[in-house]
Structure 1
Amino acid sequence: MTLRQVVEEIEASTGLRAYVHAQEFDGGEVGVRPDDSVVAASVFKVPVLVEACRQMAAGELDATRMIELAPEDFPVMGSTGIAAFVDPVSISLRDLCLSMMSVSDNRATDVVMDAVGLDRINEMLRGLGLTRTVLEGDCAALFATISDDLGMGTGTEFDLLARGEEALLGARALDAERTNRTTPRETSQLLGRIWTEDGIAPEACAEARRILRLQVWPHRLRSGFPDDEILVSGKTGTLPFVRNEAAVVEYPDGARYAVSVFLRTPSPATVSPRFDRAIGEIAAAAVAELRSA
């Protein structure tokens, strides 16, 4: 089946809506709604990583500088990495970038963004021609909009589903015009630039590739490529009603593909293996179509 046929079948059986783009670095591209604006969720951490690696490669930031964090520093909702720590921590900027990407550590993300600068990230994106990828704020700012929109106070921990699905769907964090956003095509293009070192310093690209290859979760896009010889390097993104992953898929024959899959799901559930598998199925169909061409 073609990518579009696979997407239509999955959408009909699950009620989700998919936004997809895939490109072979030295060949063609395929997509379904590839230029629609989508909620980035934690996929926004990819441009954060790129700008951090650019500044470290240029000597503007010291990758080995140890950052001391007390429990009250950079509080943010999150259950992975140092976001879940309750004791003081000392960690290098480079390893903060690793935690940000490998386990989607929200607190590490906010520390890195504080060092890098939100304006510098958006300036970098515009310089690369990715004008529809825009970051409005860090993780704490994103959750603050949810808290504000749902009238839930300012604590770092709250039940996102407590106010009901209808109220949640009106939150800015789930509106692709009012939150951190991108398009499937631009996300694939950014990944492609990292792998081909197009417009980004080679040293920065090498470090970004190293970190992206260390993601720990194989249950989404990776599930479509169950072969140890196929390398998948990516970043997930999750919010209620939002389930994403963007990755580079590298085959033993040397072919490389950037694949971006963004889902709007009919359920706000954070645990949903069917939607996770859908990302893998869609990604596999996109790459299969490119390889057959």
Structure 2
Amino acid sequence: MTTATTTSRRIHAAFAEAGVTGRLHALDIDSGAEIDAGADEAVVTASVHKLCLLVALHQQAAEGRLDLTEQIDCPPTGRTAGPTGLAAMLDPVRMSLRDTAYLMTAVSDNTAADLLLHRIGLDAVNSATAGLGLTRTRAVHTFHDMLATIRDDAGPGRARALTDPQVVARLTALDPARTNRSTPREMTRLLRAVWRDEACPAEHGAAIRRLLGLQVWPHRLASGFPFDDVHVAGKTGSLPTVRNEVGVVEYPDGGRYAVAVFTRAASTAATLPAADAVIGTTARIAVDALRAT
């Protein structure tokens, strides 16, 4: 049995123990060595797709189509729902595109994401990923529209209905064929392009990496690397039963590893610490295997 097969089995066993199905791809950014655990399965990206939007925004800035210091207004009404950032604020806000991108990335602010989407459009996001050869990565709808499908599919019970597995099973937002989607392998390819300044010119690549490094959530990918000298930068994504994160783990010896983990829990509970933690656990298994090669 090869080391890669043993590692894949360990990863799938960890997913099973946590009560989730999972898909993972890990990639040594410099050597190209990889760990594959369902890496080519179509997955629901949820807020991970904000990374694609961030790359598209910076590509447009690099091409001179917009100025990242351009001011954008956010009135108090009509905001996309969400528990963080502008989505949770009550008063009018005026801020730059780049600060809006910070909120979208660091705290996964849905309103901030949709402000940027309204500025550049879904077609620009899909053009950015297609231009990088990510043929299975597709933005289908805004975050407002994605959340609207959940409300419509849940029916009269709305949030309470999302504890019913039969309701959750029919959600459009959880079907990769009908919602924003990608594969774990394509997400690590995108991260590699960002870290190698192939997605954008160096100035913009550095800006993207900075924002991913400012993400505030430590309970998923970063939980697998609790070391002061190891840096983790990433983007999470969450929907009912779905917990995802993609990111890059950087070691002090210069090792850089892109990791994409996408999970779906059997339980509909909103709080599942084991399902969050297994993202870090499996990422660590994969990165340790890459570092041992």
TM-score band by shorter chain is over 0.9
Q: Which residue of 2 aligns with 1:262?
A: 262
Contact residue 15 and residue 266 of structure 1 kept, 8 A: yes
Give the letter for the 1:287 counterpart. Answer: V
Q: Which residue of 2 aligns with 1:34?
A: 39
Tell me whether 1:233 sits opposite 2:216 in the alignment. Answer: no
* Rounded Cα–Cα distance in structure 1 between residues aligned with 2:90 and 2:204: 32
* Rounded Cα–Cα distance in structure 2 between residues aligned with 1:139 and 1:160: 21
CA gap of 1:267–1:279, structure 2 versus 1, over 3 A, is: same
* Rounded Cα–Cα distance in structure 2 between residues aligned with 1:41 and 1:237: 5
Counterparts of residues 1-293 of structure 1 (less than 5 Å): 2-27=6-31, 28-73=33-78, 75-152=79-156, 159=159, 161-162=161-162, 164-293=164-293
Shift of 1:84: 0.2
* Rounded Cα–Cα distance in structure 1 between residues aligned with 2:71 and 2:198: 30
* 6-15 or 59-68: bigger deviation: 6-15
TM-align CA RMSD = 1.6
Contact residue 245 and residue 262 of structure 1 kept, 8 A: yes
Secondary structure, in 3 states, of the residue corresponding to 1:151? helix
* Rounded Cα–Cα distance in structure 1 between residues aligned with 2:63 and 2:247: 25
Shift of 1:263: 0.4
* Rounded Cα–Cα distance in structure 2 between residues aligned with 1:19 and 1:244: 10
Contact residue 164 and residue 268 of structure 2 kept, 8 A: no
* Rounded Cα–Cα distance in structure 1 between residues aligned with 2:201 and 2:98: 17
Report % sequence identity. Answer: 45
Return 5+ residue gaps in structure 2 as ranges: none
Secondary structure, in 3 states, of the residue corresponding to 1:17? strand
* Rounded Cα–Cα distance in structure 2 between residues aligned with 1:206 and 1:179: 29
C-alpha deviations, 1:23-61, integer Å up to 9, x for none?
A: 001220011000000000110100000011111222211
Contact residue 114 and residue 143 of structure 2 kept, 8 A: yes
Give the letter for the 2:50 counterpart. Answer: K
Contact residue 107 and residue 215 of structure 2 kept, 8 A: yes
TM-score (normalised: structure 1) = 0.94
C-alpha deviations, 1:55-79, integer Å up to 9, x for none?
A: 1222211211222221114x21200
C-alpha deviations, 1:177-222, integer Å up to 9, x for none?
A: 1100000000000000000012432222121111111101111100
CA gap of 1:218–1:52, structure 2 versus 1, over 3 A, is: same
Q: How many residues align?
A: 288
* Rounded Cα–Cα distance in structure 2 between residues aligned with 1:12 and 1:105: 31
Contact residue 238 and residue 270 of structure 1 kept, 8 A: no
* Rounded Cα–Cα distance in structure 2 between residues aligned with 1:174 and 1:249: 28
Contact residue 22 and residue 287 of structure 1 kept, 8 A: yes
Secondary structure, in 3 states, of the residue corresponding to 1:159? helix
* Rounded Cα–Cα distance in structure 1 between residues aligned with 2:138 and 2:215: 23
* 42-51 or 262-271: bigger deviation: 262-271
* Rounded Cα–Cα distance in structure 2 between residues aligned with 1:37 and 1:191: 17
Return 5+ residue gaps in structure 1 as ranges: none
* 229-238 or 3-12: bigger deviation: 3-12
* Rounded Cα–Cα distance in structure 1 between residues aligned with 2:228 and 2:51: 24
